[in-house]
Amino acid sequence: MSDLIKMTATEIAALVAGGETSAVEVTQAHLDRIAAVDDRVHAFLHVDTEGALAAARAVDERRAAGEELGPLAGVPVAVKDVLATRGVPTTVGSKILEGWRPPYDATIVQRLREAGTVMLGKTNMDEFAMGSSTEYSAYGPTHNPWDLSRIPGGSGGGSAAALAAYEAPLAIGSDTGGSIRQPGAVTGTVGAKPTYGGTSRYGLVAFSSSLDTPGPCARTVLDAAVLHQVIGGHDPRDSTSIPQPVPDVVAAAKLGAIGDLTGVRLGIVTEFVGEGAEPGVMAAFRESVDALTKMGAEVVEVSCPTFAYALPAYYLIAPSECSSNLARFDGVRFGLRVGDDGNRSLEEVMSLTREAGFGPEVKRRIMIGTYALSSGYYDAYYGQAQKVRTLITRDFNAAFERVDALISPTTPSVAFPMGARTADPYQMYLADLYTIPTNLYGGPGISVPCGLSEGLPVGLQVMAPTMADDRMYRVAAALESAVGTFTPPAL
């Protein structure tokens, strides 16, 4: 295995900038790795070999011409298939968009190009980002590099698995209820959900617009911070984008790496360290808490009683928004059209197209959302869920008066075996139990590897106040400096 693929993004960028290696050499090493292992991992839905090598050559030419390079020039990146990429297939893991090549780039993709990164391709995901295992992809599941018989998390299992399998040093994900953090936790990688509005949604295929948050995935906290800085910040094309600069997450990650948390107050969420989590997950979490305390952090328990209702509230709000958002897949402007024989009406063709193009989980959520929004049920379901969202936000605000950041295990369990939860959709939902409150509140959260349980990775989650993304990076980097990074068995 080439040394280049084991390097961090920061190391690669330095080598390329210093002329010690070329962007083409780095890119080819990762393309070779993908060719060697991705038939077993299936992290990628599309590998853009030609586009990647062309982008790499452009970086090398700019360097040769003495031009100033971006902070991630020559660093390969894998992009979740939820973001529009000009001329490169974008499916959202769904048959309804099979073969679609967007005529424009998402803002994040544009910023990645401007930073000099090299896009390797598009990563697998649960269809429309609805799922926690990547088993709901219409193109077959992704396998966890730690144990190919287990799930890599979801919905961004492809991005996380690509990192863990050394197919890419950086990846982009999107987090609506935990789809960056939960895959990060179960693959031993770092996944950060920025503050809602801190990263642009322009060109992100919409699932639940008030919750969807694109963000960085990496193997180290510093790499995630560097990527966050590159993709984040105000975008006039997204009306929910916060018109403020990104907090200095890179400086915070470097500060944290020193390993001193003196004066930092951390709150363990009482509701998330009870009987719900596996003993092995709790053991790794407790050891990490000891490590954080040793570095000077003051750790207390903080109760957030309404977090118990976050999961049911989320599974009303997200499906409601999805039932509305996915109405645009009508077989008219893009994607699949089924049954247009010249006799059938538009409505019949629409119903046949959506029936053929959407998988079972997407159909379930569209119907749940349609139910929750219908007159007679609106107040009891969607309306009540929105009120619970207010109470969850109040719990966060009260907690952040006492502590600087909240911590918990990222997930109740380690990666579960493939097929274990597909027959019982609600069991699948429980994988996101600890990540969902952050999405409802809108603040940032990060999962950082904190240990192993029976040979499988465990993640620790740090949650910070809105637009205090730097705080979570400081704590996560400190923990990383204490527990180290985790390498899966050779593939």
Q: Does 270 bind other proteins (CB under 8 A)?
A: no
Q: What is the CA radius of gyration of the chain?
A: 21
Q: Does 358 bind other proteins (CB under 8 A)?
A: yes
**Structure-token pair, residue 300:** 């207390």
Give the nearer residue to other proteins in terms of CB position, either 72 or 205. Answer: 205
CB 419 within 8 A of CB 135: yes
d(CA 366, CA 371): 9
Q: Does 331 bind other proteins (CB under 8 A)?
A: yes
Is residue 80 part of the annotated active site? The answer reads yes
Give the nearer residue to other proteins in terms of CB position, either 58 or 356. Answer: 356
Amino acid at 101: R
Q: Does 364 bind other proteins (CB under 8 A)?
A: yes
Specify the stretch interacting with other proteins by CB under 8 A; choose among 141-149, 257-265, 266-274, 346-354. Answer: 346-354
Binds other proteins by CB under 8 A, chosen from 186, 261, 291, 368: 368
Q: Does 351 bind other proteins (CB under 8 A)?
A: yes
Q: Does 324 bind other proteins (CB under 8 A)?
A: no
Give the nearer residue to other proteins in terms of CB position, either 276 or 312. Answer: 312
CB 458 within 8 A of CB 281: yes
Is residue 174 part of the annotated active site? The answer reads no
CB 256 within 8 A of CB 133: no
Q: Does 244 bind other proteins (CB under 8 A)?
A: no
Site residues (CB under 8 A) for other proteins, limited to 416-475? 424-426, 429, 440-443, 466
Q: Does 52 bind other proteins (CB under 8 A)?
A: no
Q: Which of 155, 174, 208, 408 is catalytic?
A: 155
- Sequence-ordered list of residues with C-beta below 8 angstroms from that of 380, at least 6 positions apart, any chain: none
Closest CA to 83 of 125, 116, 42: 125
Taking the complex as a whole, the smallest distance from the CB of residue 375 to other proteins amounts, in Å, to 12
Q: Does 234 bind other proteins (CB under 8 A)?
A: no
Q: Which of 132, 159, 179, 241 is catalytic?
A: 179
The edge-to-edge listing of strands for the beta sheet with 445-453 is: 44-47, 118-123, 76-80, 170-175, 213-218, 190-193, 445-453, 456-463, 405-409, 265-269, 298-302
CB 252 within 8 A of CB 124: no
- CA angle in degrees (0–180, nearest 5) for 115-116-122: 95
Specify the stretch interacting with other proteins by CB under 8 A; choose among 159-167, 184-192, 200-208, 331-339. Answer: 331-339
Pairing of strands 405-409, 76-80: unpaired
Q: Does 103 bind other proteins (CB under 8 A)?
A: yes
Specify the stretch interacting with other proteins by CB under 8 A; choose among 23-31, 67-75, 235-243, 275-283. Answer: 235-243
Taking the complex as a whole, the smallest distance from the CB of residue 433 to other proteins amounts, in Å, to 12
Specify the stretch interacting with other proteins by CB under 8 A; choose among 4-12, 155-163, 280-288, 368-376. Answer: 368-376
Binds other proteins by CB under 8 A, chosen from 54, 64, 98, 101: 101
CB 235 within 8 A of CB 225: no
d(CA 218, CA 295): 24
User: How big is the site for other proteins, counted in residues (CB under 8 A)?
Assistant: 73
Is residue 209 part of the annotated active site? The answer reads no
Pairing of strands 170-175, 118-123: unpaired
Q: Cite the active site residues.
A: 80, 155, 179
